[in-house]
A and B are shown apart, each in its own frame.
Chain A
Amino acid sequence: MGLPLNARHAMLGSVSGRHRSPIRGSALEFAQYRKYVPGDDTRRLDWRTWGRTDRYYIKEFEADTNLRLCFIVDTSGSMGYGEKGKTRLDYAKSIVGTLAYLASQQGDAVGLYAGSKNDTDTSFSREIPPKRGPRHLGVMLDQVALLEASGETGLVEAIHQAAEKIAQRALIVIVSDLLFDVTPLQEAFQHLKFRKHDIVAFHLLDREEIEFDFDRPTRFLDLEGGPSLLADPALIRRRYQDAVKGYLDQVNQIVNQSVIDYHRTFLDESYEQALARFLVGRNPKTARSAR
């Protein structure tokens, strides 16, 4: 098997899996000794220790469990940026599909929460609670394939809703362009953190959006339905780049303070490469060398 998908935090799964659980279990890996208290399973008493110390100790082992992998996908209009078939949303779909397949192969449960602001604020346009099994994976991939970019961004609200809906610890993978005022994003991340979720963010950007390398007057049509804007790029490039720099600095600050696994990904990079970097970073054996 290639690179596995690992959770960085302990997961509370319903079945045995390859991820560490906060509950002591019967796995082979020793966890700790603790004093016997009445009611403990006497089968777990370490008789050898009793023999040496004349005291009762319980020997505890790590428990391995499965994880819940939940995707929060931004489907606002801005995710439709790019050539047909190579849009930002297409890129997001590739990431989601690959990771979902990978998790499913490991026996993990996968779920999907996707939407934008033009949807009702009580539910996502696509909401698939995390479940295990190849059949569920097939359903989920079908739903991912049906995602379309439209409307304004509602990612912050989506994160808050997902935080409320996903009851148990999960690996939350957020895929978005984050092209909105990111100030409330920190609070949303904190919400997820409070629920003890492991958060991963794929920030999808196009180099053209950063470098703004246009050479003649251009009318910019807002993909999220806002008014269009006619501008001479030569005149505003400097200010534009200043604005981008300020925005990126703010994003960096938020992700650092929120301690999330943040991946800024450019669309000209292959998604396999982006995912490989992500997976390597999460593998305890390869993480150090990857960094």
Chain B
Amino acid sequence: MSFLQPILLIGLPLALLPIIIHLINQHRHRTVKWAAMMFLLDAKKMTKGMARLRQILILAMRVLAVIALLFAASRPLAGGWLALTGGGADTVLILLDRSASMEQQNLESGKSKRVSALEKIAELTETTGSNAEIILIESATLTPTPVANAESLADLPQTAATATASDIPALLERGIDYLAVDESGRTDIWLVSDLRQNDWKTGSGKWQTIRANLSAKESARLFLLNYPDTDVRNLSLSVAEVERRKTPEGHQLVMDLKVRRNASAAETEETVRVEFTVNGTRTVEEIALSGEETLRLGHTIPLGDANMGETRGWGRVDLPADDNLADNTAYFVFDDEAVKKTVIVSADPTSADAIRAAAASALDSSGKYESYIIEPSRTAEIPWEETALLFWQAPLPEEGSTEAALLQQHAESGRALVLLPPDELSGESFLGFKWGEYLGKGEELLKVGWWRTESGLLANTRNGNPLPVGDLNVFQARANEGEIQPLLKLESGEVVIGKLISETQGPVYIWATLPRSNFSTLASDGIAFFVMIHRALDEGVAAVSPARTSDANSAALAGTPAAAPLDEMAIGDSLAAPGLLPAAFEYTTTDQSKRLLALNRPTSEDDLRIVDAEGISPLLEGVEFRKIRDEVENESSLASEIWRLFLVTMALALLFEAALCLPLPLEEKSEKPLGESSS
């Protein structure tokens, strides 16, 4: 607790006055010669406990009244809900969740959760008159920024709205790292978040380190200023699978359109006015909403005469303004489809041929598919820039070698990579992954125990039917070590197909068995095999496509030199916060080809689930933190003067004291005066 007039607290010893007066009074008693001692002794004996308690309560109330008066005069400050403020800190570290969901706003005030939190923290800092150094770390860039003036906190470009997702564990980790280097004195950490599950990543392994580090920092206090309210009238929009088609009726854009709304509004029937802009030309369409999620698969937009000849372009879809403006816009770009090129690095012709055949088979008649087999000794011939999917059936490259660097760059650039078990082990590891010995000798059947059906290469089809993975027979597979998300496991628990958990943008899969008769029936029971290859290929194609869509983040424009925003209406924003806001860009690659890029907020930001108190407690177990729940509608400041509260306390204490001092009524009232003879 902090005070605006702390000097008055010097008077706190005055609280002892009632006790001193009581003691003096005790010594100033009169003396009386008394005969009826027997009644006195009886009365004393009977009232010993109660009288003493009463006396103590009276004194306590008097002391409390004096303390309350002194506190009230000292003008104490406290946060809403009586949360104590962080007055007296040397450093105030603000960890700001800058995700799109933080843009949920109060329509009357126009303030978003982000703005409201920043203003309140700024007000708190100013009200307390603290001279603390303010450091801001926001989730979009994780860069520490010193803030000279708390008043300007909400106006800084580093605190502006973004369409990104947050990684709260990474944000906290960055804050801890900053404190480890620059901490001086006591630090108040203000973590501002709307507690969305997708941002908090409760399953992240970072939490353990965060808990350990924070609990070890005795000089740091953590305040969790949270805005978990999701019960708002809000629609969110996302667009996927945009492609240009030529039909007998003319050219048209086909896309999957998804509009989400709150579960509380799911029962109502309503239509929403959706605005489509393609290459600057605007059309409007009414879409009827039903349920929580309205999905318009294959929604078509006829291209007008102006766009008839265009094979590439950009567009945006807008919803009318509502409680969150950050999820009302989705950008898209379109161009000729890229060649879906697969390269198989393998010395095993049987397996390689099976893969090549499956990868070259057209899943979509309009797409162009190519696949090549390259010997492991001739990896220099791999067309890295054009390859969407790379199968690597060779010993893992030596760490630090050119091959390893190229392979990592391939994955980091968003392309797909599948690691197949080599005949011989090199002992090397790649992105923390390492091959082990063979399981089985090719004779016994290793039964499939489980496979992931909700996502990944073996996920159920769109209509919910499972792939025939249960029919698959595995006879031989290589053990594997590393941080792997299992996609298919044997009954023994060994992972046969999995996805490497890594920081790379493109997926890295491991297949521990081969499409060869002595390894598995992948090739002979070809459905699952075919689907897996084409799903991996589709993921890789996005990176080599001349028109691709990506999630907005600070690294979204990496590798896109001189990216120019295409939407004139949003050029200013796009340049002010490059990569952090929804936009469409055009850039030129090193081979001078023109590429299109659409940045949108991650669809995970539409997930309204929050981490509740029971979810946060285990994450921050052992860490002393104060959770302050706020709402955008709440106008009260975090730090307010609470002298009234102390005055009320004083009044109540005095009232209680007066009540205690009242003489107690006799239990029974005799009809005649006490002492009158009955005879």
Nearest Cβ distance between residue A277 and chain B, in whole angstroms? 10
Known: A217-B29, A248-B674, A263-B677. A243 touches B43 (CB 8 A): yes
A197 to B46, CA, bound (A): 40
Enumerate B1-51 residues with CB–CB distance to A below 8 Å: 25-26, 28-44, 46-47, 51
Residues of B within 8 A of A131 (CB): none
Residues of A within 8 A of B665 (CB): 238
Contact stretch, chosen from A51-59, A64-72, A101-109, A218-226: A218-226
Known: A179-B36, A235-B51, A235-B54. A244 touches B674 (CB 8 A): yes
Residues of B within 8 A of A220 (CB): 31-34, 37, 40
Closest residue of chain A to B662, judged by CB? A234
* Residue from B34, B42, B46, B661 whose CB has the most chain A CB atoms within 10 Å: B34
Enumerate A205-239 residues with CB–CB distance to B below 8 Å: 205-207, 209-212, 214, 216-224, 226, 228-232, 234-239
Nearest Cβ distance between residue B309 and chain A, in whole angstroms? 102
Decide if B31 touches A236 in the complex (CB within 8 Å): no
Flag whether B400 is at the interface (Cβ < 8 A): no
B34-76 contact mask (Cβ, 8 Å, vs A): 1 or 0: 1111111111101100010011000000000000000000000
Closest residue of chain A to B25, judged by CB? A217
Residues of A within 8 A of B30 (CB): 216-219
Closest residue of chain B to A78, judged by CB? B35
Nearest Cβ distance between residue B51 and chain A, in whole angstroms? 4
A219 to B36, CA, bound (A): 13
Cross-chain contact of A223 among B26, B28, B33, B39 (Cβ < 8 A): B33
A55-85 contact mask (Cβ, 8 Å, vs B): 1 or 0: 0000000000000000000000111110000
Decide if B46 touches A230 in the complex (CB within 8 Å): no
Decide if A239 touches B42 in the complex (CB within 8 Å): yes
Decide if B674 touches A211 in the complex (CB within 8 Å): yes
Nearest Cβ distance between residue A117 and chain B, in whole angstroms? 15
* Residue from B37, B51, B664, B675 whose CB has the most chain A CB atoms within 10 Å: B675
Closest residue of chain B to A266, judged by CB? B675
Residues of A within 8 A of B666 (CB): 238, 241-242
Known: A78-B35, A239-B46, A248-B675. A229 touches B29 (CB 8 A): no
Decide if A221 touches B32 in the complex (CB within 8 Å): yes
Nearest Cβ distance between residue B62 and chain A, in whole angstroms? 15
Decide if A244 touches B54 in the complex (CB within 8 Å): no
Residues of B within 8 A of A180 (CB): 38
A263 to B679, CA, bound (A): 7
Flag whether A262 is at the interface (Cβ < 8 A): yes
Residues of A within 8 A of B679 (CB): 252, 255-256, 262-264
Cross-chain contact of A229 among B37, B674, B676 (Cβ < 8 A): B37
A255 to B39, CA, bound (A): 20
Flag whether A19 is at the interface (Cβ < 8 A): no
Residues of A within 8 A of B676 (CB): 264
Known: A243-B43, A248-B674. A237 touches B37 (CB 8 A): no
Closest residue of chain A to B28, judged by CB? A217
Decide if B34 touches A245 in the complex (CB within 8 Å): no
Flag whether A93 is at the interface (Cβ < 8 A): no
Enumerate B441-488 residues with CB–CB distance to A below 8 Å: none
Residues of B within 8 A of A226 (CB): 37
Closest residue of chain A to B42, judged by CB? A243
Decide if A231 touches B40 in the complex (CB within 8 Å): yes
Enumerate A157-207 residues with CB–CB distance to B below 8 Å: 177, 179-181, 203, 205-207
* Residue from B35, B40, B47, B55 whose CB has the most chain A CB atoms within 10 Å: B35
Decide if A179 touches B40 in the complex (CB within 8 Å): no
Nearest Cβ distance between residue A216 and chain B, in whole angstroms? 7
Residues of B within 8 A of A181 (CB): 38
- What are 21 sample pairs from A and B whose C-beta atoms fall under 8 A apart? A177-B35, A205-B675, A218-B29, A218-B32, A219-B30, A223-B35, A224-B37, A229-B40, A229-B44, A231-B44, A232-B51, A237-B663, A238-B665, A241-B666, A242-B43, A242-B667, A243-B38, A247-B38, A248-B675, A256-B678, A262-B679
Nearest 8 CB-CB pairs, A to B?
A264-B677, A78-B35, A239-B43, A210-B675, A240-B43, A220-B34, A81-B35, A217-B29
Known A-B contacts: A217-B26, A221-B32, A245-B670. Give 20 more (CB < 8 A).
A78-B35, A179-B38, A209-B35, A218-B30, A219-B30, A219-B32, A220-B32, A228-B31, A229-B37, A231-B44, A238-B663, A238-B664, A239-B43, A240-B40, A241-B666, A242-B43, A247-B38, A248-B674, A256-B678, A263-B677
